[in-house]
Structure 1
Amino acid sequence: LCITEHERILQEIESTDTACVGPTLRSIYDDQPNAHKRFMEKLDARIRNHDREIEKMCNFHHQGFVDAITELLKVRADAEKLMGQVTDTNRRLQDAGREVTAQTEEVIRCRVQQRNMATTVEKLQLCIPVLEMYSKLKEQLESKRVSQYRFCQIMAENLPRLREEIKDISMSDLKDFLESIRKHSDKVGETAMRQAQQHRTFNSAVAKQASMGHYIKPVYSLNERTHAHTPNGLLMDDDTGDDEADEEGDRETFENYYRKQRKKQARLVLQPQANMGYGFPVNRLFDLLFEVRDQYNETLLKKWALVFREIFELDNYSPIPVETEDEYKLVVSRFPFHDAEIEKQDFPKKLPMSQSVPQIYTQVKEFIYASLKFSESLHRSSTEIDDMLRKSTNLLLTRTLSSCLQNLIKKPHIGLTELVQIIINTTHLEQACRYLEEFITNITNVSPETVHTTRLYGLSTFKDARHAAEGEIYTKLNQKIDEFIQLADYEWGMAESDGRASGYLMDLINFLRSTFQVFTHLPGKVAQTACMSACKHLSTSLMQMLLDTELKQISMGAIQQFNLDVIQCELFASSEPVPGFQGDTLQLAFIDLRQLLDLFMVWDWSTYLADYGQPTSKYLRVNPATALALLEKMKDTSKKNNIFSQFRKNDRDKQKLIETVVKQLRSLVNGMSS
């Protein structure tokens, strides 16, 4: 009977999860005084039996293993030979294909030439009748025998009318051209000024030659041309015909029209003050000038957008190193920076903003100067010029610079360090806006206390950019956390935990520590918000991993391993990675996970069910649906591992307890849904 009992115990140990071996071994000591020694003898015999079976199996498969290795060695030589043949064949194919490719390209060129030649021959054949008729007509004209043909009279009647139609169409095209050329007026003006300079240089050279007594007679003169009349009234030219004279005259007409139009425009621009003095209305002219000013500002904005983009691309997004006092004075002369603590530091030292901040500030001042140059020529009052400059600067800040900052923040290569530096840069640029207002006041001599003075909107611009950068920091932090979470490789059916936290989680915590050290330069609320957001996202991701629908079974060992990881998260939160949190505020991000894991680790279902719904409940943050989902996964694992659980009283009681708790949790969930 004892031997049979020992056999049963051995079979139970072999088929049972190692986490539940304790009660089985305890039953050995509870039976008889010498049961332990007899059980150990039986266990040694079972081990020797298994060793013999393993040895038989190894002997049985050894020859097959040796044969397989031998075949692999034989195949390796053939594989190397085949590889060499394939490489040689590929090389010969490449060499042969290269010649075929060259010949194919030559054939394609020949085909194109043949097609072009055939097309040309076809078109020339269509032109042959016209050329023959033209040749006959030319012979008749030379012999002056065309007067008797009726087509000659028709041509003489229709050609002037056709010329007038062509002239009208050309004049219409010229007017359209004059209207559309405004889009290219800057390039036209540049070309005109260059040609005028060349013409002035040429005229001075001609005048110098004339003063020296050299005069060159024109080669061509309209007055020296001879004409002849045909009997039917057609005018014939001894050189090229009177048609060319008409064409020259039409060209002169168009040139005169163009010059007159440009002169009218110049007079309108150059004489507004005279017209105002005589009492003529010039409001439309000034409206035109203001429209030109708006277009000029748009051109300036486009130009400075390229300048800002180039500055941002070349920036290294790191604090400005200052080695000597001269370098410090150079930076301060370009940008109004004042910090008493940094000024007290010894050289070398670093300024908090990056090199793009002084460059941006300088370029904004250059834009104000460029806008001022145009506004001064409008002959407006100082107050109006001041208002124009402030409005133009507002457009530069709120539209151009803001757009460049938003695009910069969204670029994929901008990391967390760069985003932190961008926030610092925008803070300093925001503080410098009042110096820009003083700069405009100094160059326009308009007091800022004037009632209608426009204020700069740089504060809102840089605040919006800073908020966008902060949001991008939160997003990139969460994305980085997700990348670490994807590396998690839990063995959900493990019997017991490894006794230490998972490697991926320790790497994640080290990354967060180093990242939050960079955040020390940020405003306190930004760093705290980023830290709290990261901890909440980490807690949510871990909870989702635990409750994933694709995860069907979880063992108690996996729960213990998961608990070790959550403990590391709580230790990280309690270490105050970012200063400023009160008490255990940061640890509350993991409170849901902590209460859920405590419930399963302690197996305290009676307390949870008894205190459910009470504000003082120990497991107040544990949702019944969450607990039910996790318990069902453990229930399935228990059924799978404990094959003989129905034969052991403890396992039967545990299984009944799980089923009872599952029923009560389902009733709670149904009650919540109803």
Structure 2
Amino acid sequence: MVSTGQPSSRLVTAVQQITLSSSDSDYLLQLIPVIKEVSQTRRVEELINVLNQLSTEKNGEIENICNSNHQEFVDSVQQLLTVREGTMSTATEVMEVQDGMQASVQKLAEAKKALVDSRSVRENIDEATEALDSCLEVLRLANQVHELLAKKRHYAALRALDELRNVHLREISRYKLADMIEKSVPATQRLIADAVMNDLNTWLYRIREASQYLGEVAFYHTEMRRSRLKQRVEDDENLRKFKLNSAIELVADETDEFDILNNEETETQVDFTPLFECMHIYETLGRMDHFKSEYAATRRRQKELLIPTTVNLLDEEEADLSSLLESISGFAIIERATMRKTDNFRAPVDVDELWDSMCQSAIALISNALHTVDNDEKLLKIKGRISLFIQTMDSWSYSTSSLQSLVLVIFDKYSQILKERFSEDFQEIVATDDYMPMPITSMDEYNKVVNVSWYTPEKDPSKLKFPCVLPFSQMYPLCCIDIRNFLNQIYLFADDQFQRSAVIDETLQHSLDELLCEKVCQSLIQRLSSQYPGQIVQILTNFEHFETACLELQTLLYEARASTHASGPVVLKALERFRTGKKTAEKRIFELVNSKIDDLVETAEYEWLSTTAPEEPSLYMQELTRYLSVNMNSVLLGLPTEIKELIYFDALSHAANMILALPLDANVRRITPSATKTLAQDVHFLSQFVESLGNPILKENLDELVQTVALMQTSDPDEFFDVSQANKKYGRVDRTNGAILLEKVREGAVVASNPVLSSSNAAFAALGSRFGINRS
């Protein structure tokens, strides 16, 4: 439906506004909303009418303008036509120029396109070249890693690999080559780790092979330190108490620098570079714990290879033992040096465990082979090597207590061998001795004997006349020599290189006691069964000197005692044994003297019923006094005065008792005055002999005998039964014995006063004597 009314003012205004647009685009932009609006309101015809109306108005305006300016318009049209012609020609020219330009532009576009295409290709080529160069650089670095690895430059190879991985692979990360190389990095790292570990194993093998020589050099260095210390002690006695490895010795030895691991003189050089490089690489790889465990396992295996299955201790040069100890020493020195040169790489407990294991293995080998050694000199050499080993390892701060115990085991065997050898020597000395005072022919010989024996001469040596004799027999100085040798050889074991302990002192004392008690004292005691008083006297003299020797030995052992914790004096059991032996010898002398006295008294032939008395003392009494005189002045001459007097005292006492027992015999029932006179004459003879000895004490032994014989001769027997008189004259006479003898004398007097009875008794006595019958 088309509207025929007047257009709205709003629509007219909008159309007028549109006509005022400055350009077609602006015109259309304003017209479009109006068209949309009228289309929606169904007023299109109204818009067309407005536009037509507006067009008519404008045409009218144009016509009016043209009518008023017609001529000018004609002229203008003419001008415009002229201009149009020129414009047409110009347009033709322009079209021609445009066609030329269009052809040129087309060519230029084609050239530009070709240029753009070539530039793109060039950029691609440049990019490809750059990528290729980067990949080639990566490949070069990868190859360089393997080249460095082949040249044993492991750390440089690891650094190059690290640079390749962290820097260069990032530049080509978009290429597959980067992935391939990235995947090969762990394998390359393992190659580097294996290569450096192989080099380390080679180094470990070489130092294991060189361990023995390194230990030999260490022993040499210790011996040099010993020599320097000995020289310093000789120069200054105050340094004697400072031993090897003491603080004073270490300070004094600082001026003599000696690097065991690197020394031109001994041609030793232990380079730890392979170990350091391996540690650095494994630490860089983050596998340090794995490397520590592998290294520790390798060293444990090498330690096992170091220890032999057996060791020969009988070799004259101790080659096996030296090789074993030097190898252990070199191995342990490397371990300690490794621990000192690194930080937390080798745990002290691991190093000490290896050391303890090697020590226990060495101790077991040596202990198992000790039974083959039966020579004390060989044991000294073995101990010397072990002591050198101990002192060497002490300087490297290793514990050597187990080795010290081994030395004590060796000492025990050493002392046993010495004891067996000296036992044989002592037995031979005791068995071959002549048990006579030792003769000396010269002052030189005298000095030698005195120097080796614990003997203090009673006389000034300058006043001696040779030849002379010493109180002891030759066994005493020979035993003294053996004792001194035994002590020296024991102390030779405990020299400056090995400090003596309480065990050594106790072993020495015990062994010395055993030798003196069982091999000397017991042997001498066994020889006391001899029937020769002279031999017994010499044994007793020897006992006295051995007693003196024991006292001296006690002092010597006390002063030489090594243990500072031991208290109290040194007491040798042998001292008491020799004292007991001396008493046994004295008793044996008493037994022999008294036995001889018994034999002599038993030969007495008193005629208790005789009527006549001989003018001379009885033969047995003469023999008895002669025996006592000779025995004391010859056989017992070597005894000390107090012992001789004691023997005299006991012998005289025994003789008096035996003589007194003769008339007291139960078979003697009567004693005639003549028999009493004979007995009195013998007793007087004995009394005079004792008086000639000049010792009143000895004479007192005969008081009972003399007073008893005087009682038998008394004319007033009643005095004996009067206490006051008896105490004065017969104080020593036994009351019972006196009464018995008085009764026998009284009956004898009766017999003597009857000649017939006396003669018959005499005849019977003669007959009894013939047939061995005694009847008084």
TM-score by length of 1: 0.49
Higher relative contact order structure (alpha carbons within 8 Å, sequence separation ≥ 6) = 1
- Give the TM-score normalised by structure 2: 0.43
Select the structure of larger CA radius of gyration. 2
